[in-house]
Amino acid sequence: MRTPSRTPDRALLRDAAAIAAAMVAVGGSFGAIAISYGLPVWVPFLMSTAVFAGGAQFLAVGLIAAGNPLAAVLAGLLLNARHLPFGLAVSGTVGPRLRDRLIGSHLMTDEVVAFTLAERDPARRRRTYWLIGITLFTSWNLGTALGVWLGAAAGDPVSFGLDAAFPAALIALILPSLRDRDTRVVALVGAAVAVALTPVLPAGLPVLCALLGLGAVFLPRPRAPRGTGAGRPVAAEEASC
């Protein structure tokens, strides 16, 4: 009788272990890159524990190293704005107590929300949220520590290509979304705007200006030529007569 109820938990633990391994690798990349930018050792540790924002941390250390902390703050706020609807979606799962909400909101990431919403049973949702959240937080900070240690011991981590690890991961994540035409247009226009403005704007601002690519959604679409689409059934009827 207990085997069916324990099987999903084993699958969840297996998934948690797999995603923890990935977080150690990406966190290590973050720690090494932060050191390569010449930031103090305590900065990546403080960000990984107090901020715990993944992509926003990569962007922030780059902008801070470039001397534009204001752009780092604005970019971080924009990247993490998605957590507002995420919080509404999992508010009932985290728990009613203030302590649970404060800690739970800090542990909330894309992966945690995705794993949680995949569960239908409320009890399993709550267990999944806290297991994945604590696992990711722990593995991310462990990876950061390893990256800082390796970065300090190996010299320039950029020479090993670690600076490309996170952008490569992001590209891999967004590739399935590019199958949609509107998404492709927005991404291409945003990328073109950012590249065009990079030589003339301070570091960080071209990334924010890439949001102008969203305006491409409102551009008029070309109309289909006459005689195609809806006109084909009429032609078929005429031929049958």
pLDDT of residue 178: 75
Strands (E), 74-233: none
Give CB contacts under 8 A, 24+ apart, made by 163-172. 163/29, 163/33, 163/36, 165/25, 165/26, 165/29, 166/26, 166/29, 166/30, 166/33, 166/55, 166/58, 169/26, 170/55
Residue 239 has pLDDT above 50, yes or no: no
The mean per-residue pLDDT over the stretch 76-80 comes to 79
Query: pLDDT band at residue 166, thresholds of 50, 70 and 90?
Result: low
More confident of the two residues 196 and 82: 196
CA–CA separation, 154 and 196 (whole Å): 35
Q: 95-104, 142-151, 163-172: which range is least confident on average?
A: 163-172
User: CA angle, 71 as apex, 209 and 201 as ends, to 5°?
Assistant: 50
Q: What are the structure tokens assigned to 195, written together?
A: 């590249």
Residue 4 has pLDDT above 70, yes or no: no
For the chain, give the mean pLDDT. Answer: 78
**pLDDT tens digits for range 137-154:** 999 999 999 988 887 665
The mean per-residue pLDDT over the stretch 39-66 comes to 86
Residue 155: phi, psi to the nearest 5?
90, -120
Cβ(37)–Cβ(57) below 8 Å: no
